[in-house]
């Protein structure tokens, strides 16, 4: 008896072990309606970062509920929550390597198309079938998401960014108009310093987003620089415009920013701006809602903030990588496309604009329920003399990562701007 | 004889789940890592046999050499300093002075805090703007002190090392248990022979707990071969590559450069390094011999 129990126990443990290793593929469920007819509910696997403390979480929750309501009994969204853009990108890369990409991917502007093309669904035929849908996608949005004649992504928003400045601090420093050139920009920085105000919020960690926007804007002030900033996956950073910009970034780190900028994350840079410790921060319109959030910024802070184009009338204004479809079966592809259409619809883009300040990709989406700073950002983008794309969308991932570890050396003067450029070039060369 | 056969069969049966798990989770993936280290394997392109070219490339890859060096140095420091601190604390606690149980618990606190929390704590502690360390130094100097400990080339390695070097709670617990297991009659005999407490601690007790000490050194050294969280959360291997170690470099190569073949090659070298370290420590501490 004891031997029998022992054998059964051992066998059960083995069985449970192997059962636990099997993948659960609950992609369809049966739903029986009142007439007794059974339909299959197709589940759409969608991992997302629009959860938790993400500013887009309320918008996404709204969209998820509406989608599930609209397609009740037909499609159901299976959301996997992933905190942080970089964690999301890493997870998708691992899933790609193991040939188990989810049905729909939204990488927040990160370019995964070039790496994963072979596993993504070409959406061009579906756009041809639905000209109304195609008409709502901007030319630059379609361009950024296309490779040759194939379309691998549908954008929901576009990248329009200038820099924000604290009007009250500018007034205190005696600055009454915005800089038209970078020389004027740095003269204003000197004025701010003289008034006891730290000019710039900067960071180096996690790709040094805020700092790198400044870097890119400086590069993009010439014809060659504008071309560089709109070129996908550059391999050579030893360009004069890049080195000149890096020289200015080094100057900014050494003279014009807070002591926690080197090693600091975006949150440090943002906190310093909200607290009135710095006068200028480079970032996108999604930050605008935070200016009015009293848990993050003082009451009335939003009214003290202005938005400006970079000197030389340079603006980040580009299409953005959107939703990709990686579903494998025809019914899953159909379901995924229905979801993508829903998420990129004019209504979704309008709600995204109103809730998050995200500039819609569709040229037909407008709203009167947006903060003035959002409207100003859109106008600045339209009127910019030079329009550039951001580094995170275009540069190699290892270069974006390398920037974070090279910035501290640049800031400390351990490397020259030329050496900084050379380091990035060496890392870019590792990509085949 | 039949009973022996049945007992053996039951042993095998009960070991089977564990062996199966080990095979699926460790053995097969290790074999795959070893196998693919001889291939050029990058995301978006097919795998092609590359022979030992990945291994040869490593020796001209400055980042690899630096990460290897950093990993080795940390393993050495952890084995020597970290274990020494833990052992000395264990010897002190073994005397069971007043409050020894409380101190034993306090020393364990850093070991039970998650790496994510520890990383944030240390980043704030050494923050150039609001850090306690700079505040204390500033108070001593009588003027503001804003050194960027984690992100200055001069102090980054030292600061990252501090995040784990001093917190030897686990070593203390293991060594304390070993010290307390030393037979009392041996210690009594030493006292009768006129040995001082220090002589007893260092010439009798410690040699008798040699195998436990060796185990602690193995734990300490191999923990450095796996250290990732704290470096990733603080400096991410920077400034430059001054705090880059092998696990982090493997991660960056696999996930930023999408170069799985090269990353797996480094994984193999890391495994070889680990096996070599454990072998050397086993020999040094004569782990297969007992004194009692």
CATH topology of domain A159-318+375-428: D-Maltodextrin-Binding Protein; domain 2 (3.40.190)
DSSP string, A197-224: -EEE----STTTHHHHHHHHHHHTTSHH
Residue bearing tokens 């073994």? B94
CA distances for A345 relative to A156, A239, A348, A364, A426, angstroms:
8, 41, 5, 11, 42
> CA–CA separation, A119 vs A37, rounded Å?
35
Beta-carbon contacts of A188 under 8 Å, excluding residues fewer than 6 positions away, are: A170, A173, A175, A179, A199
Query: Would you call A397 and B20 a contact, using CB atoms and an 8 Å cutoff?
Result: no
- Closest residue, chain B, to A113 (C-alpha): B44
Task: Decide: A262 and A407 in contact? Cβ < 8 Å.
Answer: yes
Q: What are the pLDDT digits (tens) for B4-30?
A: 677 788 888 888 889 999 999 999 999
> CA–CA separation, A280 vs B61, rounded Å?
40
Query: Would you call B236 and A404 a contact, using CB atoms and an 8 Å cutoff?
Result: yes
Mind listing the pLDDT tens digit of every residue in chain A (432 residues)?
776 776 677 667 666 655 555 444 444 555 454 554 446 899 999 999 999 988 899 999 999 999 999 999 999 999 999 988 888 998 999 899 889 999 999 998 788 888 899 999 999 999 999 999 999 999 989 988 999 999 999 999 999 999 999 999 999 999 999 999 999 999 999 999 999 999 999 999 988 999 999 999 999 999 999 999 999 899 999 999 999 999 999 999 999 999 999 999 999 999 999 999 999 999 999 899 899 999 999 999 999 999 999 999 999 999 999 999 999 999 999 999 999 999 999 999 999 999 988 999 998 898 889 999 999 999 999 999 999 999 988 899 899 999 999 999 999 999 999 999 999 999 999 987
Q: Does A379 touch chain B (CB under 8 A)?
A: no
* A123 Cα to chain B: minimum distance (Å): 20
Percentage helix, strand, coil for chain A under 3-state DSSP, each rounded to 5 = 50, 15, 35
- Do A28-153+321-356 and A159-318+375-428 share a fold? yes
With 0-12 CB in 10 A as exposed, 13-18 as middle and 19+ as buried, what is A5? exposed
Q: Name which of B151, B241, B259 is nearest A263 (Cβ-Cβ).
A: B151
Query: Would you call A414 and B153 a contact, using CB atoms and an 8 Å cutoff?
Result: yes
Q: What phi and psi values does residue A47 have, to the nearest 5 degrees? A: -80, 145
Task: Decide: A89 and A107 in contact? Cβ < 8 Å.
Answer: yes
Q: Does B26 touch chain A (CB under 8 A)?
A: no
Is omega for the bond preceding B108 within 30 degrees of 0, making it cis? no
Q: What percent of chain A has pLDDT over 90?
A: 76
Long-range contacts formed by A343-348: CB under 8 A, 24+ apart? A343/A63, A343/A67, A343/A106, A343/A156, A344/A136, A344/A137, A344/A154, A344/A155, A344/A156, A345/A136, A346/A136, A348/A63, A348/A156
Q: What is the mean pLDDT of chain B?
A: 91
Q: Tell me A414's DSSP state.
A: S
Task: Decide: A277 and A343 in contact? Cβ < 8 Å.
Answer: no
Residue A23: what pLDDT? 46
B269 pLDDT exceeds 60? yes
Residue A31: what pLDDT? 47
Of A180, A181, A120, A179, the closest CA to residue A154 belongs to A120
DSSP string, A63-102: HHHHHHHHTTTTEEEEEEE--SHHHHHHHHHHHHHTT---
* B14 Cα to chain A: minimum distance (Å): 5
Q: Residue A72's CB: how many other CB atoms inside 10 A?
A: 11
CATH topology of domain A28-153+321-356: D-Maltodextrin-Binding Protein; domain 2 (3.40.190)
Please, what is the Cα angle at A104 between B43 and A370, to 5 degrees?
120
Confidence of residue B43 (pLDDT cuts 50, 70, 90): confident
Residue A26: what pLDDT? 43
Output the pTM of the full model.
0.87
As beta bridge partners, residue A166 has A305
Token digits of residue A362 = 């569709």
> From the candidates B151, B160, B236, B266, which should be mutated to test the interface with A, based on the most A CB atoms within 10 A?
B151
Query: Would you call A404 and B239 a contact, using CB atoms and an 8 Å cutoff?
Result: no
> CA–CA separation, B124 vs B141, rounded Å?
21
Task: Decide: A189 and A346 in contact? Cβ < 8 Å.
Answer: no
Of A25, A112, A106, A39, the closest CA to residue A73 belongs to A39
Task: Decide: A137 and A361 in contact? Cβ < 8 Å.
Answer: yes
CA distances for A174 relative to A63, A182, B159, angstroms:
46, 18, 42
Q: Give the residue extent of every domain in chain A.
A: 28-153+321-356, 159-318+375-428
Residue A5: what pLDDT? 76
Residue A165: what pLDDT? 98
B197 pLDDT exceeds 90? no
> CA–CA separation, B58 vs A428, rounded Å?
17
Query: Would you call B255 and A10 a contact, using CB atoms and an 8 Å cutoff?
Result: no
Q: Residues of A numbered 234-273 whose beta carbons fall under 8 angstroms of chain B's beta carbons: which are they?
A: 258-260, 262-263
Beta-carbon contacts of B179 under 8 Å, excluding residues fewer than 6 positions away, are: B90, B91, B94, B205, B209
Query: Would you call B239 and A414 a contact, using CB atoms and an 8 Å cutoff?
Result: yes
CA distances for A187 relative to A178, A196, A257, B212, angstroms:
11, 14, 15, 66
- Complete domains list, chain B, with CATH: 29-111+155-284 (1.10.3720.10)
Q: Does B255 touch chain A (CB under 8 A)?
A: yes
Residue A28: what pLDDT? 52
CA distances for B48 relative to B35, B38, B41, angstroms:
12, 9, 7
Residue bearing tokens 């071969």? B225
Residue A316: what pLDDT? 96
> CA–CA separation, A323 vs A144, rounded Å?
12
Query: Would you call B17 and A258 a contact, using CB atoms and an 8 Å cutoff?
Result: no
Q: Residue A144's CB: how many other CB atoms inside 10 A?
A: 25
């Amino acid at each position: 008896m004891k031997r029998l129990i022992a054998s059964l126990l051992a066998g059960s443990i083995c069985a449970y072990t192997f059962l636990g290793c099997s993948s659960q593929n609950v992609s369809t469920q049966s739903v029986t309606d009142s007439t007794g007819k059974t339909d299959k509910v197709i589940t759409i696997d969608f991992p997302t970062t629009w959860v938790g403390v993400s500013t887009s979480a309320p918008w996404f929750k709204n969209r998820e509920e509406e989608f599930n309501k609209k397609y009740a009994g037909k499609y159901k969204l299976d959301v996997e929550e992933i905190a942080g853009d970089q964690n999301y990108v890493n997870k998708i890369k691992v899933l790609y390597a193991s040939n188990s990409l989810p049905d729909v991917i939204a990488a927040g502007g990160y370019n995964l198309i070039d790496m994963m093309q072979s596993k993504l669904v070409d959406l061009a035929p579906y756009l041809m079938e639905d000209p109304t849908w195609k008409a709502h996608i901007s030319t630059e949005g379609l361009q950024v998401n296309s490779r040759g004649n194939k379309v691998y992504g549908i954008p929901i928003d576009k990248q329009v960014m200038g820099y924000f400045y604290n009007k009250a601090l500018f007034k205190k420093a005696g600055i009454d108009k915005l800089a038209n050139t970078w020389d004027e920009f740095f003269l204003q920085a000197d004025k701010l310093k003289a008034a006891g105000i730290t000019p710039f919020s900067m960071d180096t960690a996690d790709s040094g987003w805020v700092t790198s926007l400044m870097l890119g804007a400086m590069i993009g002030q010439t014809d060659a620089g504008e071309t560089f900033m709109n070129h996908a996956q550059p391999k050579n950073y030893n360009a004069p415009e890049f080195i000149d910009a890096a020289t200015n970034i080094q100057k900014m780190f050494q003279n014009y920013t807070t002591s926690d900028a080197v090693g600091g994350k975006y949150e440090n840079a943002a906190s310093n701006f909200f607290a009135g410790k710095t006068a200028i921060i480079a970032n996108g319109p999604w930050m605008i809602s935070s200016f009015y959030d009293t848990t993050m910024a003082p009451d009335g802070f939003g009214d003290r903030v202005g938005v400006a184009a970079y000197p030389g009338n340079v603006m980040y204004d580009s299409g953005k990588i959107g939703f990709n479809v990686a579903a494998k079966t025809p019914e899953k592809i159909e379901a995924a496309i229905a979801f993508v259409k829903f998420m990129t619809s004019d209504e979704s883009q309008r709600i995204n604009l109103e809730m998050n300040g995200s500039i819609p990709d569709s040229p037909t989406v407008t709203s009167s329920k947006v903060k003035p700073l959002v409207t100003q950002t859109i106008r600045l983008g339209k009127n910019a003399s030079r329009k550039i794309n951001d580094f995170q969308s275009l540069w190699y991932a290892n270069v974006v990562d390398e920037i974070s570890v090279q910035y501290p050396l640049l800031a400390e003067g351990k490397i020259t701007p030329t050496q900084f450029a050379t380091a990035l070039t060496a890392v870019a060369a590792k990509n085949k | 004889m039949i009973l022996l056969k049945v007992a053996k069969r039951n042993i095998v049966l009960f070991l089977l789940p564990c062996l199966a798990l080990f095979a699926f989770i460790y053995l097969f993936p290790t074999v795959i890592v070893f196998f693919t280290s001889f291939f050029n394997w990058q995301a978006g392109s097919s795998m092609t046999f590359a022979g030992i070219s990945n291994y040869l490339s490593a020796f001209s890859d400055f980042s690899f050499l630096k990460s290897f060096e950093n990993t080795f140095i940390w393993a050495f420091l952890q084995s020597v300093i970290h274990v020494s601190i833990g052992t000395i604390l264990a010897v002190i606690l073994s005397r069971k002075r007043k409050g020894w149980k409380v101190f034993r618990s306090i020393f364990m606190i850093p070991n039970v805090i998650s790496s994510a929390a520890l990383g944030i704590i240390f980043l704030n502690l050494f923050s150039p703007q609001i850090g306690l360390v700079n505040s204390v130094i500033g108070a001593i100097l009588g003027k503001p002190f804003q050194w960027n400990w984690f992100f200055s080339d001069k102090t980054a390695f030292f600061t990252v090392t501090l995040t784990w070097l001093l917190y030897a709670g686990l070593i203390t617990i293991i060594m304390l248990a070993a010290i307390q297991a030393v037979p009392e009659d041996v210690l009594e005999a030493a006292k009768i022979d006129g040995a001082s407490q220090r002589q007893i601690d260092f010439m009798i007790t410690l040699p008798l707990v040699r195998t436990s000490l060796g185990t602690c050194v193995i734990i300490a050294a191999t923990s450095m071969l796996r250290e990732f969280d704290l470096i990733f959360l603080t400096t991410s291997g920077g400034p430059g590559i001054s705090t880059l170690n092998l696990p982090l470099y493997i991660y960056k190569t696999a996930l930023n450069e999408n170069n799985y073949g090269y990353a797996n090659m480094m994984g193999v070298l890391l495994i070889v390094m680990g096996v070599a370290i454990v072998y050397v420590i086993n020999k040094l501490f004569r782990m297969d011999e007992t004194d009692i």
